[in-house]
């Protein structure tokens, strides 16, 4: 017969520290197994792609609402975009016209993938288009007052060269000015909804 302390005759209730540690360890193992791998760099690559897409969409809207051309140029070495409100629609940066520079997200850069791009061919540059305009020594695209663009575009950005699933692509259709965004999953380019 076991003697109990306190003389009340009640058994102790609760868990020992060993039992609690075992439960915590099991929960930790299940959580690390069940949760997908989290990569902040992928979210930053998404943000860089969204920024490029948003700037193209904003330029198109500004061209329509202000009824003047908007020139988007790509500074590939500085990893930024130049936005010019071409008030007199002459395709040149004149005095008095609004010029803004927008850098890509921190750490993001324009990059040329070494495999087939969104359209199925290997891109020759990180920004490709059949009719890129050169304005002030930078290549780019001109959005016209009707919302169309001067050329079709493919733009590729990433956070790290060696990590292929961080590559993002933004495409622009010249006739409508419509933009789409894609991500590389290691085998194919997948359209992103946002």
Mean pLDDT of 82-109: 90
112 has a pLDDT exceeding 80: yes
Burial class (CB in 10 A: 0-12, 13-18, 19+), 95: exposed
Q: Quickly list H helices, the chain.
A: 17-34, 40-66
Query: Where residue 9 falls among pLDDT bands split at 50, 70, 90?
Result: low
Which residues are CB-contacts of 35 (< 8 A; sequence separation ≥ 6)? none
Q: Provide the whole-model pTM.
A: 0.78
Other CB atoms within 10 A of residue 87 CB: 14
Both tokens assigned to 117: 């791009």
Question: Would you give the end-to-end CA distance of the chain in angstroms?
Answer: 71
Q: What are phi and psi of 120, to 5 degrees?
A: 95, -10
- Phi first, then psi, for residue 163 (nearest 5°) are -105, 100
Q: Give the sign of the dihedral formed by CA 149, CA 119, CA 54, CA 128.
A: negative
Q: What is the model's pLDDT at position 7?
A: 54
Give the residue-averaged pLDDT of 20-30: 92
Please spell the DSSP secondary structure of 69-108, one letter per residue.
EEEEEEETTTTEEEEEEETT-SSS--TTS-EEEEEPSTT-
* Helix or strand (DSSP H, E) at 171: strand 168-172
Q: Is the pLDDT of residue 2 over 70?
A: no
The highest-level CATH class for domain 40-192 is: alpha beta
* Residue 6 Ramachandran class (φ > 0 left, ψ -120 to 50 alpha, else beta): left
Res. 163: pLDDT tops 70 = yes
Which of these, 49, 44, 50, 80, lies nearest to 159 by C-alpha position? 44
């Amino acid at each position: 017969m076991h003697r109990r302390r306190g003389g009340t005759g009640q058994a102790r209730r609760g868990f020992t520290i060993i039992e609690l540690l075992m439960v915590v360890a099991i929960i930790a193992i299940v959580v690390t197994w069940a949760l997908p791998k989290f990569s902040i760099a992928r979210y930053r690559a998404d943000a860089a792609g969204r920024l490029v897409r948003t700037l193209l969409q904003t330029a198109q809207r500004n061209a329509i609402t202000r009824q003047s051309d908007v020139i988007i140029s790509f500074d590939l070495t500085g990893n930024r975009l130049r936005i010019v409100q071409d008030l007199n629609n002459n395709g040149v940066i004149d005095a008095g016209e609004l010029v803004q520079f927008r850098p890509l997200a921190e750490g993001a850069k324009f990059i040329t993938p070494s495999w087939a791009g969104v359209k199925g061919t290997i891109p020759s540059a990180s920004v490709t288009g059949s009719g890129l305009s050169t304005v002030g020594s930078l290549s780019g695209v001109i959005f016209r007052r009707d919302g169309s663009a001067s050329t079709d575009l493919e733009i590729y950005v990433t956070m790290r060269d060696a990590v292929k699933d961080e590559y993002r692509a933004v495409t622009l259709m010249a006739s409508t000015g419509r933009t789409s965004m894609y991500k590389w999953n290691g085998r194919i380019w997948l359209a992103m909804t946002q």
